[in-house]
Amino acid sequence: MDNSIKPQKRDFVRPQHINDYPVGPQFEAGFLAETNAGWRTFRPVVDHDKCVYCLRCYIVCPDGTIFKDNDKINVDLDYCKGCGVCAHECPKDAISMVKEEL
């Protein structure tokens, strides 16, 4: 797997002065502030036999957790929040949301 295309986790360092706080997002694109806290109820599962690699899920994922891996789509479950946008937008129903098991 090519880790260069996956979002990288970078710790947030609290600014010392009010003027040091970022305006807008706390990091530039491609960085995540924290891993999944364990509250996800559903997780996406990709059916690679149905997937046509249109990359719509990759484009619409609000957390950037879908990544390309050897011409297949995979989900980084460490960061996925389980919102279901990927499954909703998949034109071939290749992504299903499966209930998390404890």
Spell out the per-residue pLDDT of the chain, length 102, in tens. 455 556 666 676 777 887 876 665 555 555 555 666 678 899 999 999 999 999 999 999 988 889 888 889 999 888 888 999 999 999 999 999 999 886
Contacts of 3 (CB under 8 A, 6+ apart): none
Residue 14 is which amino acid? R
pLDDT, residue 73, reads: 93
pLDDT, residue 31, reads: 57
- Whether 87 and 47 have beta carbons less than 8 Å apart is answered as no
Model pTM score: 0.67
pLDDT, residue 99, reads: 95
Domains and CATH numbers, the chain: 3-99 (3.30.70.20)
pLDDT, residue 28, reads: 55
- CA-nearest of 94, 62, 96 to 79 is 62
